[in-house]
Chain A
Amino acid sequence: MIRRHGISALPIFFLVTFAFFCAVVPRFATAGNLEALMAGYAFIAIVAMGESFAILLRGVDLSVGAVMALAGMVAFDASLILHLPGYLSVALALVVATFAGVLNGLLIVFLRLQPFIATLATLAAYRGIVFAISGRQLVPGLSTTALDDPWIIGLETYFDVGATLGVESIAVPAIPLSFLLMIVLLVLFEVLLRSTRFGRDFYATGGNPEAARLAGIDLRRTVLIGYALSGFCAGVAALLLVARLTTSTEALGNGMELTAIAAAVIGGVRLNGGMGSMWGPVVGTFLLGVVLMGLTLFGISQFVQQILTGAVLLAAIAHSRWLQSRRLLPSAPEGS
């Protein structure tokens, strides 16, 4: 099994940060606030997991934000212009998002483009497609029409755990569906990476591609699936966001790639591949969420918050570099 060097520090750091804000910010630890945290960051955590697949393979997926916009717009058009039933709209959006990821993979595998270049190009291209197919522009009046299909809007559901369990005396936050979905994906991906041949191939490909190739692992297939998963995750996140907004815009997911990369790195995914987990990026996302939400309640300006986000990212990278340099020290030679 992969022993994840030092990442066990992450949950502790998360809890300490969480406890700090609970203690210091008076209105932080309320049920409503925790609901908002879960609903507002679960979809980001899903994108971060997708992004982590790319980073584990020594790559990066800069197009996740654009893929989100694409998937969101496909769902929007399918529902409001084509009047498809909701389950078809959802499926179509996921298929398009996954295919967008596959296309990234194809560019990387067959044209041998560097992932950074390939996904930078598709970032621009996918955004362009979003504008071209935007129902908000094509059909007058649609830009003010809200989505009302139960299949899509139903994604924004809350489960009142407190009421179900009969503990209404204390305020228990209702669990948003998006958070549960995130948990399901997290468990699936962790099992995939830890306990399947494909998962092991995945780490091998990211850790030492030459060794993987010589062991007969199909690198192309691994990379294609990795980027497909990244696209799929962006699609899921897009649907969750569209359900919250009850509409989609051309700017959906703008800048999301940076947040996702930050969450992955904070979550201990090594930028040069081969090392990391899926739960790490999830915790990383919520760590960012707790910090930003806490600071907002503190009344600190948005601009300062961005600076602090950058600082958190730098600290995470510095921490991982430090772990790495400690690991690189020559191990004690035996028998001398």
Chain B
Amino acid sequence: MSGLALLEGRALSKVYGLSTVLHPTDVVVVAGEVRGLVGSNGAGKSTLMKILTGAIAPTSGHILINGEIASPGRPLEMLRRGVACIYQHSNLVAEMSVLDNIYIGRQPTRRLGLIQRKLLREQAQALLARHGMDLDLDAHVSTLSTVRQKEVEILKALALDARVLLMDEPTAWLSVADVARLHSTIDGLRARGVGIIYVSHVLDEVFAICDTVTVMRDGSVVADQPIAQLDRARVIELMVGKTLATQALGEANGAARSAPAAGVPRLRCRALSKRGEFHEVSLDVHAGEILCLTGLVGSKRSELVQAIFGANRFDSGTIELEGVPVKFHSPRAAIASGVGFVTEDRHRDGLMLDLSIAENLVAATLGRYRRGLLLAGERIRATALRLITALNIQPPDFMKPVRLLSGGNQQKVLLGKWLDLQPRLLILDEPTVGVDIGAKAEIYGLLRAARDNGMAVLVVSSDLEEVMTIADRIAVMVAGRVVRTRETCETKIVDLVRDMGAVSA
């Protein structure tokens, strides 16, 4: 990397009151470099990103763009000088067209403020051609797939002549194939001399796409090296320390149940079908076992598990719970029978973000905390404190609104809510999306503990690394059918990829 330094942060730090969230930190992005930025939540990644986008001003230090000092805390100036950010959550207007979104807020106008549509379209087409991208400019953003929406965001940044792109978890909601597509777009940008900072919790991606990596921990940079000098285990250790690192790796799965469970399975599905969604799906999940259901996005795994939970209907087939035939017409009935469900999108349908940790933790079991007509507040608090300790929820303040927690801690609250129910069968849909590796390791530990206590656990996951780490058995689903079920100890990732018919992993 001997390119030109496009963006340089020198001794940037941030202090809030008495707590230092970012110790003086240097960071450089040169032209044609993809720099990975990794670290647990709370490591200072997002603070650093916010300083670089100008969203907040650093307590000390300064930022150089092309060698010139930029005034801190001015998001518009950073944008104008070519530093753009692609946030984890979409910053597009879903109801508007691609073209409108790319030039939002700065369309060229004629007299009377009328927009020069033809000019706009020509500019956009030139931009698409220049970067070898292909998008329907008239399509509504809401009709595009997630990876296409990311491309629109990238194009929006490029339309500003961005030389530096900050990407915050760009693949958090993407399938394997879409990640590959995004990475080839990033490759193209790199070849044209754009500098990129790539923040991700998914280390495989960092190793796949990045040239250099900056590892942060507790508000400081602990490593800044070419990626070739590091391996996965070393990066995890740098991020979270030794103990948690082993939890997050497959070795901890050594404790996995060795002999296949016998007897009546906890959950037995036979020939479950729903037109247009899943066909003839048969599955067994035993007590004390973690079964992972994996596959590409669109393989209808979520629809299947929702049908088991009573949140989706099915046309034919049978479900048995410990040998007893059941058919849940509502999640309420499923919960009453001891089935828990951790939903995929914790913001949309998992948590009540403005309620406290305690209220969320007991939301599924509130009936148990009645005293006459009222709720027994002290028992709720006791349960909340017990779960907060057991799950290591940070901060350990049960009055805190869930909205203020980090993604990993929100996910732990969601998990705790269902663990409090002590279900016979716990279904989890993508339990660690957008969760940092430290919290991931803790969640894996919790799931293993629940399994060892005899719970049956069914996990839907697209993250093959995760599947290999926690599963006892793995079922691969393709286009609504379970094509293969394997024992984890006899399986390699390449086998799964082959089962899925995926082009890349």
Contacts of A330 in B (CB 8 A): 298
Q: Is the CB of B142 within 8 A of A208?
A: no
Contact with A along B78-104 (1 / 0, CB 8 A): 010000000000111111110010001
Contacts of A201 in B (CB 8 A): 104-105
Q: Is the CB of B297 within 8 A of A211?
A: no
B75 at the interface (CB under 8 A from A): yes
Q: Is the CB of A204 within 8 A of B106?
A: no
Contacts of B117 in A (CB 8 A): 195
How many Å from the CB of A82 to the closest CB on chain B? 36
Q: Is the CB of A207 within 8 A of B94?
A: yes
What is the number of residues of chain B that contact chain A, defined by CB distance less than 8 Å? 38
B222 at the interface (CB under 8 A from A): no
Contact stretch, chosen from A23-31, A119-127, A214-222, A304-312: A214-222
B495 at the interface (CB under 8 A from A): no
Residue among A3, A191, A216, A333 making CB contact with B105, cutoff 8 Å: A216
Q: Is the CB of A204 within 8 A of B105?
A: yes
A145 at the interface (CB under 8 A from B): no
Contacts of B105 in A (CB 8 A): 197, 200-201, 204, 212, 215-217
Residue among A200, A208, A335 making CB contact with B107, cutoff 8 Å: A200
How many Å from the CB of B301 to the closest CB on chain A? 13
**Complex Cα–Cα for A14 and B102 (A):** 36
Contacts of B145 in A (CB 8 A): 331-334
**Complex Cα–Cα for A132 and B237 (A):** 74
Contact stretch, chosen from B108-116, B249-257, B304-312: B108-116
Contacts of A203 in B (CB 8 A): 93, 95-96, 100
Residue among B92, B97, B106, B113 making CB contact with A208, cutoff 8 Å: B92
Q: Is the CB of B106 within 8 A of A327?
A: no
How many Å from the CB of B157 to the closest CB on chain A? 11
How many Å from the CB of B161 to the closest CB on chain A? 15
Contact with B along A309-336 (1 / 0, CB 8 A): 0000000000000000001001111111
Residue among B104, B106, B143, B175 making CB contact with A211, cutoff 8 Å: B104
B76 at the interface (CB under 8 A from A): yes
Assuming the contacts A204-B105, A333-B175, asked whether A3 and B93 have C-beta atoms less than 8 A apart, the reply is no
Contacts of A214 in B (CB 8 A): 75, 91
B296 at the interface (CB under 8 A from A): yes
Contacts of B175 in A (CB 8 A): 333, 336
Q: Please report A residues at the B interface, Cβ cutoff 8 Å.
A: 1-3, 191, 195-198, 200-201, 203-204, 207-208, 210-212, 214-217, 274-275, 327, 330-336
Instruction: With A196-B113, A214-B91, A335-B178 given, name 6 new contacts (CB 8 A).
Output: A200-B100, A211-B91, A217-B104, A327-B143, A333-B297, A333-B298
